[in-house]
Structure 1
Amino acid sequence: MRVLQINSVCGIGSTGRIATDIHAILAEQGHDSYIAYGRDSPLNCDTAIRIGTNLDNYVHVAKTRIFDQHGFGSKKASEDFIGKIKEVNPDVIHLHNIHGYFINVESLFRYIKEANKPIVWTLHDCWAFTGHCTYFDFVGCDCWKIEGDHKCIQKRSYPASFLFNNSRNNFNRKRKAFAGIKNLTIVTPSKWLAELVKQSFLGEYSIKVINNGIDLDVFKPTDSDFRQRFNLKNKFITLGVASTWDSRKGLSYFLELSRKLNDDEVIVLVGLSKKQQEDLPKNIIGISRTNNIQELVEIYTAANIFVNPTLEDNFPTTNLEALACGTPVITFNTGGSIESIDKYTGIIVEKGDLNQLRYEINMIKNKTKELSKKLCVERANLLYDKNNRYKDYLKTYKSLIKNNIYQ
């Protein structure tokens, strides 16, 4: 079996690591595997294929910023890449994020329809069926619906446009480009996103849920001197982790929560920028984004509770990582974030309810409510082992190839 994955990045970020994890399993089982990517240097894949150049990226960014035509730049780079696809001649093509300033979706999908190859498309967000944005839950927008207005109210959000709002035209162009593919399966990491896809113009396709997985050889309870190094020996630690802390990730709730802490409590936030760290109150310890996974594992393990106050999300990997390290999760009732926990391993708080969030933390701190570290680890081992989850993709590839042969 020969598989080509396409993603904005290779081996970095959550989607890049998912692609290389799948690549590793394919290679381990003797299959031919390639990853095509659009930006940054590739990691953990010796058969990576670059789509376009840095200059192509910059021009695509300019087209997005001025004309709000994200996904409709990089035409020559895409046509050149299609030539490389023909050389590789994959049995199945697996799409991940096809936004990110690197590919022309109309050119790509024109080839896909002509080639009539099996396609798996993992949606890591909502961009594929909106006129502009990647998420709309936070602002309560319904422009993405088939009968919606289709004029996005978030043109300054990623992929940001500073001048024109071209979202209505984008919506119609995507709808036309993505329609009519004979052998396409859409995969979502969460049931929440699957339900949204069913309501969108992509609802004509087969949709299945495959949860994200993590490396359980790495993410596991791990002792360290983290508490000693930060003088937190007898402190109750509430932890938050994000790759980028913005309003969507709920940074403001941690700042508000800090005003309600007692002297024996502290908040630790991982992933803050240097500027964000400068403005923190004394009872919040800010740690920069770290590529040292072992350090992150030690912090997860040292924490008493992991809080994810995200206001819109698909299936946050941070929840899985916390569980695997034996740390229970409190999350807002948002998107697919609630799907990774049960009543023994976490608590769901209504979105934005700071008082309930504080109450639940107190219940755990005072041991009025018991959540099991042991069951957190067991849940992660049972459901979120990346080797098992990404083997589900291999099963999907084989099924699609088989069906394609007999069509």
Structure 2
Amino acid sequence: MKVIHLNTYEGNGGAGRACLRLNDALNASGAQSEVKVYYQFKKSAQTSTFSKTGLQKAMAIFNILAERYVVKLFVKAMKTPFSLQWFGRSVIKDPALKNADIIHLHWINHGFLSPKFLAQLEYLDKPMVWTFHDSNAFTGGCHVRYECENYHQQCGYCPLLKSSGKNDLSHRTWLRKKEAYSNLNFHIVAPSNWMANSVKISSLMGARKVNVIANTIETHIFKPYVKSEAKKLLKIVPEKFVLMSGFMPSKNDKHKGTAYLLEALMKFSKRPGIIKENVELVIFGNKDNAEMPEFPFKTTFLGTINNDEHLAKCYSAADAFLTASLEDNLPNTVMESLACATPVIAFKTGGIPDMVKHLQNGYIAAYKSAVELANGMEWLYHLKNREEIQKEARRTILTEFAPAVIAEKHLHLYESLLAAQPR
């Protein structure tokens, strides 16, 4: 079985990473799987690209930059991603697509497959699968919806646009997508139950069949290390209670919920029985320490970590991984942490509850409640059998998200789609 995965970039962001992980899992399970991307930032043995020649690269760069910056003319100064999808390119003459048995789409924004060029894929007459790594495929432009429910109808009155109304840019984009999808036969994969439920109540996709198949992770790389030794590696006293979090942008970044996490840390530090000197905060992925706010505990900044084995040791050094994300499909950081036997404390949102089981391998806090996040930290701080919670975190990943498990589910879906093809 020949499977080709399409993604805008190689390994960039959660979608790119998930795409590469699935590709590796499928190949390990006996399929002939490859990833082809719109643009490569550097040569790679893992993927091939549609933009090979100098002219193709130049056009790709133009499209990517146009999509990223022209949108600023129409969207309010908010940190919620929005795509115009005006720019794109045709790929239907590519030999790899013609020779594939299955075409599997992933994240195709930033000037890659606009609705016009997406619709052309129907000419290839191949079974198509599309994994929704965010909400953009079924909205009029946004990637993160929050409380907005306009996608239940036909978008319009978009809260992100400078000029909003019944026939605004989001509604017109919705109409373009509707036209493109009308003759395009594809099967939807949602990595989380939350995403699947969102698809089912959307006006664009509600009638289509959806399979919930999670992303996977390299369980041989993201694995537990001895906590005391991992802490020593980071020059942290082994007896300290270590809280870890990913990159914290400014307080105004709505998506990451940074303000809630900062408030929760402050509340936790003031709880009776919490000895501040025994707690240390570790942050990885931060771009600039100068952007960081004041923290109530000693804080270690690890910077960007590009080596996965080292990242796994960092996760292993933590007693808890914290995320205050307000909307996330199936965040890689949560899966990585659990794979390293580190419990996760997070809000009940998106696909996080698919991975984090309350009081079993972590703590699920009430949505947008800094008090509840602090409760999760306090619970784990005082917990005597942390080792049992840690073991359960690892077990969850091995039984539900391991490469062989996820590959098998995809292969079963592919086979069913091939069997349904007219002969």
TM-score of the aligned structures, taking structure 1 as reference length:
0.86
State the 1:166 CA deviation: 1.4
Cα pair 1:129 1:202 within 8 Å, conserved: yes
SS of 2:151 mapped into structure 1: coil
Whichever residue aligns with residue 190 of structure 2, its letter is T
Alignment check: 8 A CA contact 2:334 2:352 kept: yes
**How far 1:193 sits from its partner (Å)?**
0.6
Partner residue in 2 for 1:92: 102
* 1:211 maps to amino acid: A
User: What is the distance in 2 between the residues matched to 1:197 and 1:93?
Assistant: 20
User: One-letter code of the match for 2:337?
Assistant: A
Please name the residue that 2:116 is paired with: 106
Measure the CA separation in 2 of the matches of 1:228 and 1:117: 50
The residue number in structure 1 matching 2:159 is 153
| Deviations 1:32-52, CA, capped at 9 Å, x for gaps | 634233453364425443375
Query: Which residue is 1:298 aligned to?
Result: 313
Instruction: Give CA deviations for 1:220-244 in whole Å, capped at 9, x if unaligned.
Output: 1113453464343322111112597
- What is the deviation of 1:304? 1.0
Give the superposition deviation at 1:269.
1.8
The alignment status of 1:344 with 2:360, answered yes or no, reads: yes
Distance 1:303 1:82, change over 3 A: same
Counterpart of 2:223, as a letter, is K
Letter in 2 for 1:187: V
C-alpha distance in structure 2 between counterparts of 1:10 and 1:203, whole Å: 30
SS in 2 for 1:144: helix
1:3 is displaced (CA, Å) by: 2.2
1:115 paired with 2:129, answer no
Paired residues in the alignment total 392
Q: Superposed, which structure 2 residues align to 1:176-187 within 5 Å?
A: 176-182=179-185, 184-187=186-189
In 2: Cα distance, 1:214 partner to 1:154 partner: 34
CA distance in 1: counterparts of 2:384 and 2:33, whole angstroms:
53
In the other structure, the counterpart of 1:125 is: 134
Shift of 1:202: 0.7
- Indicate how the Cα distance of structure 1 residues 395 and 70 shifts in structure 2: closer, same or farther if over 3 A, else same: same
CA distance in 2, matches of 1:27, 1:341: 28
Rounded Cα–Cα distance in structure 2 between residues aligned with 1:243 and 1:45: 30
Distance (Å, rounded) in 2 between the aligned partners of 1:405 and 1:57: 37
| 1:251-273 superposed Cα distances (whole Å, 9 cap, x missing partner) | 22332234342222122222212
The amino acid that maps onto 1:101 is G
1:293-312 deviation line (CA, Å, top 9, x unaligned): 12211111111112221111
AA partner of residue 154 (structure 1):
L
- Equivalent in the alignment of 1:238: 243
Q: Judge conservation of contact 2:156–2:168 (CA < 8 Å) in 1.
A: no
Q: Counterparts of 1:185 and 1:203 in 2: how far apart (Å)?
A: 12
User: Could you say if the C-alpha distance between residues 22 and 363 of structure 1 is closer, same or farther in structure 2, counting changes exceeding 3 Å?
Assistant: closer
User: What CA distance in whole angstroms lies between the structure 1 residues aligned with 2:139 and 2:97?
Assistant: 32
What is the distance in 1 between the residues matched to 2:371 and 2:292?
26
Structure 2 residue matching 1:389: 3-state secondary structure: helix
**Hey, what's the Cα distance between the residues in 1 that align with 2:243 and 2:44?**
32
How far apart, in 2, do the equivalents of 1:124 and 1:362 lie? Answer: 32
Per the alignment, residue 78 of structure 2 pairs with none
Matches within 5 A, 1:267-286: 267-275=281-289, 278-281=292-295, 283-286=298-301
Q: Distance in 1 between matches of 2:65 and 2:291?
A: 30
RMSD over equivalenced CA pairs, Å:
2.8
Distance 1:243 1:354 in 2: 16
Q: What letter matches 1:121 in structure 2?
A: W
Give every structure 1 segment of 4 or more consecutive aligned residues whose post-TM-superposition deviation is greater than 4 Å: 25-28, 242-245, 275-278, 368-371
Distance 1:217 1:251, change over 3 A: same
CA distance in 1 between counterparts of 2:188 and 2:243 reads 36
Matched, 1:204 2:207: yes
Partner residue of 1:392? 409
**Aligned residue runs from structure 1 range 358-373, under 5 A:** 358-367=374-383, 372-373=389-390
Larger CA deviation: 111-120 vs 309-318: 111-120
Residue 190 of structure 1 deviates from its aligned partner by 0.3
> In the alignment, is the contact (CA less than 8 A) between 1:9 and 1:42 conserved in 2?
no
| Cα distance in 1 between the residues matched to 2:222 and 2:381 | 24
Assess if the C-alpha contact under 8 Å between 2:92 and 2:124 holds in 1: no
Provide the C-alpha distance between the structure 2 equivalents of 1:340 and 1:25, rounded to a whole number of angstroms: 19
Deviation at 1:274, TM superposition (A): 0.8
Measured after TM superposition, the shift of residue 321 of structure 1 is: 1.2
Higher deviation after alignment, 169-178 or 20-29: 20-29
5+ long unaligned stretches in structure 1:
none
Aligned-residue offset at 1:155: 3.9
Q: For residues 96 and 231 of structure 2, what CA distance do their matches in structure 1 show?
A: 51
Q: For residues 8 and 280 of structure 1, do their structure 2 counterparts lie closer, same or farther at Cα, with a shift above 3 Å needed?
A: farther
Q: Is the 8 A contact 1:258 1:267 kept in 2?
A: no
CA separation of 1:39 and 1:132: change in aligned 2, threshold 3 A = farther
8 Å Cα contact 2:248-2:292 kept in structure 1? no
Task: Quote the Cα distance in structure 2 between the aligned partners of 1:225 and 1:136.
Answer: 38
Aligned counterparts of 2:92 and 2:150: Cα–Cα separation in 1: 32
Give, in whole Å, the separation in 1 of the partners of 2:404 and 2:198: 27
Superposition TM-score, scaled by structure 2 size: 0.83
Output the amino acid matched with 2:117: S
Query: Residue deviations 1:81-108, cap 9 Å, x none?
Result: 2222587432221111121233322122
1:12-51 paired onto structure 2 within 5 Å: 12-28=12-28, 29=30, 31=32, 33-38=34-39, 40-41=41-42, 43-50=44-51
Preserved CA contact (<8 Å) 1:5 1:94: yes
Q: 1:56 to 1:112 in 2, by over 3 A?
A: same
Q: What SS is found at the alignment partner of 1:405?
A: coil
1:311 to 326, 343, 352: 326
Give the distance between the partners of 1:47 and 1:368, measured in 2 at CA. 50
- Measure how far apart 1:143 and its partner are: 1.4
